[in-house]
Amino acid sequence: MLRAARPVGAALIALALLVGCASTPPPQITSIGELGAAYLEAGGECSELVERYRESEEQPVSATCGTETELILAADADEAQAIATQLQLQEQTVLVSGRWVMRDPQLETIQQALGGQIVTLSAADGPANLADVIAFDADGVVPAEPVPAGGTPAEREPASDMPDVLVVIDPDCEYCDRLLAASGEQLTELADSGAARVSYLPVSLGDSIESGYASTLGANALACVADSAPDAYRPFQTALVAHLQEHPFEAAAVTALASEHGATEVGDCVASAQFAWSVRQATVRAIDAPLQGVEPLRGVPTVIVDGVTFAGDVGDPAALAAFVADPQQP
């Protein structure tokens, strides 16, 4: 159920792409009927609009026509912007203005009459050092070239003479917080001492309006830090995941948290969700392709060592340490 959103910071506004406005102010729209009429008058071609059933008065009013056209009338402009962002992060292109949101193949034509912003998640290059994982060993971060827009990560050389540890997390995941709280320092020590190569793969599996889209925007913040201050990545990751268990994503608060942990130049990247496209593509790859040759991602957190998936308690650091030392143990 969609509900009025809590404030989620500058990232929601920064994601919007303004591509043109109407020459006259758009009409005031206060009902789904008025929105449907305005849509048709503006050049919309789908005339069989059907209003959707609502379980409560708190839900936005919406009408659909086929699979490609959807009109949504929210309670206010903030909720409309939050809904537009939700659809955008699902890789939908929408037109948003005031209280309403539209999804339709003719958005540019409709925009000429009604104004508003067309928002879309545009393909973009990924961050440095995170492709799709960020890896650490005794020499620090293992450098990696950014994944080009529409491209795939280059294959990494296998870790030699040491365990190869992969940790998959979603920033808005309670059990990921338990894992990092229990074993985050241990994983850092394993890498820094040369006892293992430890890689982290941030993914986005659980976005919601209520969380401020903390999965995607949190993973984007991790990508921002990996790109510009990779040495700060691990302490920031632990702090961010803990923070998001208590608070919705807010760009200003997350930027301040990154600065506290040594990443002082990520404000614009966090606010604009610069690597949101990259996060979505990395998540799709993790779900579609075997991780370390084992199986596609089934949930988070996931820890894999040399092709074997950890099945123990993620909150038990001794169990994880024993697994890293001997992943083949019963």
Looking at residue 144, its pLDDT comes to: 94
CATH number at residue 102: 3.30.200
Region 130-136: what's the mean pLDDT? 97
- Three-state DSSP state, 140: strand
What are all long-range contacts of 137-142, with beta carbons under 8 Å and residues at least 24 apart?
A: 137/162, 137/191, 137/194, 137/196, 137/197, 137/198, 138/191, 138/192, 138/193, 138/194, 140/230, 140/231, 141/230, 141/231, 141/233, 142/197
CATH number at residue 249: 3.40.30.10
39, two tokens: 């849509």
**Quick one: 217 and 164 in the same domain?**
yes
Using a 10 angstrom Cβ sphere, with 0-12 exposed, 13-18 middle and 19 or more buried, the burial of residue 112 is middle
**Quick one: 186 and 285 in the same domain?**
yes
Contact 251, 9 (CB under 8 A): yes
Per the structure, the complete domain to which residue 52 belongs is given by: 18-119
**Quick one: 71 and 162 in the same domain?**
no
**Quick one: 199 and 321 in the same domain?**
yes
**Quick one: 29 and 96 in the same domain?**
yes
Q: With b meaning 16 or more CB within 10 Å and e meaning fewer, what string describes 292-316?
A: beeeebeebbbbbbbeebbeeebee
Please determine, for residue 139, whether its predicted confidence score (pLDDT) is greater than 80.
yes
Q: Read off the pLDDT of residues 246-284 as tens digits, 9 standing for 90 and up.
A: 999 999 999 999 999 999 999 999 988 999 999 999 999
Residue 188 pLDDT class (50, 70, 90 cuts) = very high
Please determine, for residue 14, whether its predicted confidence score (pLDDT) is greater than 90.
no
**Quick one: 160 and 247 in the same domain?**
yes
Q: Domain total for the chain?
A: 2
To 10 degrees, what angle do helices 276-288 and 214-228 make? 110
Looking at residue 26, its pLDDT comes to: 57
Contact 3, 209 (CB under 8 A): yes
DSSP code per residue over 13-37:
HHT-------SSPPPP--SHHHHHH
Backbone dihedral angles phi then psi of residue 97, each to the nearest 5 degrees:
-155, 125
**Quick one: 108 and 146 in the same domain?**
no
DSSP state of 265: S
Tokens 């948003």 found at = 96
Residue 330 pLDDT class (50, 70, 90 cuts) = low
DSSP code per residue over 98-120:
TTEEEE-TTHHHHHHHH--EEE-
End position of a domain, from candidates 119, 148, 178:
119
Q: Where are the beta strands (DSSP E) in the chain?
A: 50-51, 61-65, 69-73, 94-97, 100-103, 117-119, 134-137, 140-141, 164-169, 197-202, 302-305, 308-309
Q: Read off the pLDDT of residues 36-66 as tens digits, 9 standing for 90 and up.
A: 999 999 999 999 999 999 999 999 999 999 9
Strand 197-202, strand 164-169: pairing: parallel
Using a 10 angstrom Cβ sphere, with 0-12 exposed, 13-18 middle and 19 or more buried, the burial of residue 113 is middle
**Quick one: 115 and 154 in the same domain?**
no
**Quick one: 287 and 196 in the same domain?**
yes
- Cα 7 from chain centroid? 17
**Quick one: 35 and 166 in the same domain?**
no
